[in-house]
Structure 1
Amino acid sequence: MKPLGLTILGFPCNQFGKQEPGTKSEILSGLRYVRPGNGFVPNFLLMEKGDVNGKNEQRVFTFLKRSCPPVGDDFGAPYGRLFWEPLKINDIKWNFEKFLVGPDGKAVMRWNPRVDMSTVRTDIRNYLLRLYTQELQN
């Protein structure tokens, strides 16, 4: 993705089912040896673990959530699965919710964590094509 000018960032968070309890080095070891395992090393930047919702959410997520509409209004059955209060409609619903931020630093798109990756790829390609076309016209 780097040749296209994209940088992918991963933000570990333990607010969804307590699925990410470790430190950054433990998370990397878990990826390499457990899930998915087989020596897997992420090809994206892995940031420090932090909250994405609630009173201690990282400011980048406050910004992103304010910039893009929510991906839905359903949290499923939140009790025992979601670990922040109060739940807000614009909160990140689950792990792997995705945002696209444009070259100007503004959030452009937001995807539900269950969206098929082919949809994300198509949306990003279309966005990059629009940027490229606009650049050619200027």
Structure 2
Amino acid sequence: MKSRRLTVLGFPCNQFGKQEPGERHEILPGLKHVRPGNGFVPNFLLFEKSDVNGQNEQEVFTFLKNSCPPVGDSFGDPDKRLFWTPLKVNDIKWNFEKFLVGPDGKPVMRWHPSVNISEIRADIRKYLLQLYTSVEDIFN
């Protein structure tokens, strides 16, 4: 049986409150020593910093956002905290918005950044159990 694994991908972006100002070579050391610090090293694939919204957004985000309904209907007060134009209803609202993409490459779910990780974990588990006969199938 072919191995089925859940893969987490991270995409740094500086469009939300200018919270990722670092250059490519500064991002990993910044995570390790500053934010969150304490020697943190991500256990997921971290891509280069890019735009997820606006005129220069990466195509993968255009695809993801057009494949899943928007989460939330408000950006709050975008003045001085959102750095792209034009604002669109299906845009990513803030850091840590998440997408689940199936093994066939089709987006399945999208979560607002404020959704608790335990809810996301439960949703992913439910989805994977629908795909495979048991959780063991995922890791074997």
Same fold (TM over 0.5): yes
Q: Give 2:106's aligned amino acid.
A: K
Aligned twin of 1:40: 40
Aligned twin of 1:70: 70
Q: Which moved more, 1:3-12 or 1:54-63?
A: 3-12
Aligned length in residues:
132
- Give aligned-pair identity as a percent: 76
Aligned twin of 1:53: 53
Secondary structure at the counterpart of residue 109 of structure 1: strand
Q: Deviation at 1:24? A: 2.4
1:93-132 aligned at under 5 Å gives the runs: 93-132=93-132
Answering whether residue 115 of structure 2 is matched by residue 80 of structure 1, we say no
Looking at structure 1, the residues matched to 92 and 100 of structure 2 have their Cα atoms a distance apart, in angstroms, of 14
Aligned twin of 1:22: 22
Looking at structure 1, the residues matched to 4 and 81 of structure 2 have their Cα atoms a distance apart, in angstroms, of 37
Looking at structure 1, the residues matched to 13 and 42 of structure 2 have their Cα atoms a distance apart, in angstroms, of 16
Aligned residues: CA RMSD = 1.3
Which consecutive residues of structure 2, in runs of 5 or more, have no partner in the other structure?
none
Q: Which structure has the higher relative contact order (CA within 8 Å, separation 6+)?
A: 2
Q: Give 1:16's aligned amino acid.
A: F
Q: TM-score, normalised by structure 2?
A: 0.91
Looking at structure 2, the residues matched to 49 and 35 of structure 1 have their Cα atoms a distance apart, in angstroms, of 16
Looking at structure 1, the residues matched to 34 and 4 of structure 2 have their Cα atoms a distance apart, in angstroms, of 31
Per-residue displacement from partner, 1:23-61 (whole Å, max 9, x unpaired)? Answer: 222111111001111111000000000000001000000
Looking at structure 1, the residues matched to 56 and 68 of structure 2 have their Cα atoms a distance apart, in angstroms, of 20
Looking at structure 1, the residues matched to 31 and 67 of structure 2 have their Cα atoms a distance apart, in angstroms, of 31
Q: Deviation at 1:4? A: 5.3
Q: TM-score, normalised by structure 1?
A: 0.92
Q: Give 2:105's aligned amino acid.
A: G
Q: Give 2:33's aligned amino acid.
A: Y
Per-residue displacement from partner, 1:97-132 (whole Å, max 9, x unpaired)? Answer: 000000000000000000000000000000000001
